[in-house]
Amino acid sequence: MFSAYAKIEENTYRETFGLDFEQFEPGQVFRHRPGITISQQDNVDEATDTMNSAQLHYDHHYASQTEWGQCLGVSTMTLQKVIGSSWKTFARKDRIVEFTNIAMTRPVFGGDTLYAESEILSVDTTGDSECGLVTVQTRGVNQKGEVVTKVNYNIRIYKQGHHPYFGQAELNCDLTDAKFSAYKLEEDGALKETVGIYFEDLLPGETYQHAAYKIVRPEEAVEHAQRSMEWNPKYVDPSYYNEYFPDQGKDGNCPVTEAYWMGAMTACTTRALGRVVANLAWKDMKLNRELFPGEKLSVTSEIIDKRESNSRPDQGIVTVVTRAFDKDENEVLSFTRTLLVYRKGKGPYDKAGY
């Protein structure tokens, strides 16, 4: 079993991602999750951001006169979505060193949902003490099960204990409880990435240390303030903030709005808590200081209570305390949530391809 967690101490687990080079074998197939539904706006953004002059991607009147009948998805957008979707399995990579072939086998349009699956074609130790070379074909599959792209490439993967973050030798990743597995074994032998822990397996007293942390960029902080109509100059005008709060600013940036920090820290919990149906309530929300772009926070979630749902037999209710700590391990934010969580064997997973 490949574990998605490392045991730090009794009842405390850290999320980990990716496999070491030694764990890859020719013939393995990994089905990556989640998928992503793309929109025509995504298509326009990709084309305009890269200054793509092919009007087929963003001029509907023009595209409607072609054999496609609508705007065609930018091929490089499809490539990015498919390769990006594979990140969890290949999280211990150094880098992709070569794309040997990229085939676009079907058109992609706004409204399509893309999933990725990867087949390991070969492995080569390369004589490198730190990394080995893995040859992969990653396929993009749409919501109809049609293959829209096949991407062949060579990728350097760190060997056990050599990755600077995920591969520390001191971590105990040999967890055998099925709830910690990074994959679900499919009937055809493929390994499908899992999306969280079920209600029955979330136990009071357990703490999960979340990885894949979030760092807010300065322009992102201002953009989200503006989009939420938080037009107080404190959050959108760095010159204003630094003039009137000269001793509080950080690197010339405005603080991040409290609501966006709450959202960003909550999002960090969605790997371990991936079976959540809905948030029922938030309480005891403590923001101990202002937070600024560029800060890297560590986030934990402690399971403090759980009970059966009286009205939803396929779900249970879990109470979680989430805490965020700065680089000096000071608690800067905390809140308690009550969550609806799917029970084992329930939910839309099989029908939705998860």
Tokens of 298: 């560590």
Euclidean distance between CA atoms 266 and 322, whole angstroms: 8
| Tens-digit pLDDT profile for residues 41-71 | 999 999 999 999 999 999 999 999 999 999 9
Residue 311 CB contacts under 8 Å (≥ 6 apart), including other chains? none
Tokens 């890859």 appear where?
A: 24
Q: Is the pLDDT of residue 164 over 80?
A: yes
Q: If one looks up domain 16-38+73-159 in CATH, what number appears?
A: 3.10.129.10
Residue 119, strand partner residues: 29, 137
What pLDDT was estimated at residue 127? Answer: 84
**Matching fold, domains 16-38+73-159 and 207-352:** yes
What pLDDT was estimated at residue 231? Answer: 95
pLDDT category of residue 34 using cuts at 50, 70 and 90: very high
Euclidean distance between CA atoms 93 and 118, whole angstroms: 14
What pLDDT was estimated at residue 207? Answer: 98
Euclidean distance between CA atoms 147 and 114, whole angstroms: 9
φ, ψ (nearest 5 deg) of residue 278: -165, 155
Q: Is the pLDDT of residue 82 over 70?
A: yes
Beta-carbon-side half-sphere exposure of residue 84 (alpha carbons within 13 Å): 9
Euclidean distance between CA atoms 182 and 185, whole angstroms: 10
pLDDT category of residue 329 using cuts at 50, 70 and 90: very high
Residue 168 CB contacts under 8 Å (≥ 6 apart), including other chains? 161
Q: Please state the rounded mean pLDDT for residues 240-246.
A: 82
CATH superfamily of 207-352: Hotdog Thioesterase (3.10.129.10)
Euclidean distance between CA atoms 273 and 261, whole angstroms: 18
Four-residue CA torsion sign, 113, 90, 302, 177: positive
Tokens of 258: 């409290």
Four-residue CA torsion sign, 279, 283, 289, 290: positive
Q: Is the pLDDT of residue 297 over 80?
A: yes
Euclidean distance between CA atoms 221 and 254, whole angstroms: 8
Q: In b/e form, how buried is each residue of 245-279, taking b as 16+ CB within 10 angstroms?
A: eeeebbeebbbbbeebbbebbbebbebbbbbbbee
Sequence spans of domains, the chain: 16-38+73-159, 207-352
Identity at 140, one-letter amino acid code: G
Tokens 């397996």 appear where?
A: 201
pTM, 2 dp: 0.92
197-200-204 Cα angle (round to 5) = 90
| Tens-digit pLDDT profile for residues 112-129 | 999 999 999 999 998 899
What does each C-alpha distance from 188 to 27, 85, 120, 151 come to in angstroms?
Answer: 12, 21, 15, 22
Residue 13, strand partner residues: 7, 208
| Tens-digit pLDDT profile for residues 182-235 | 999 999 999 999 989 999 999 999 999 998 788 999 999 999 999 999 999 999
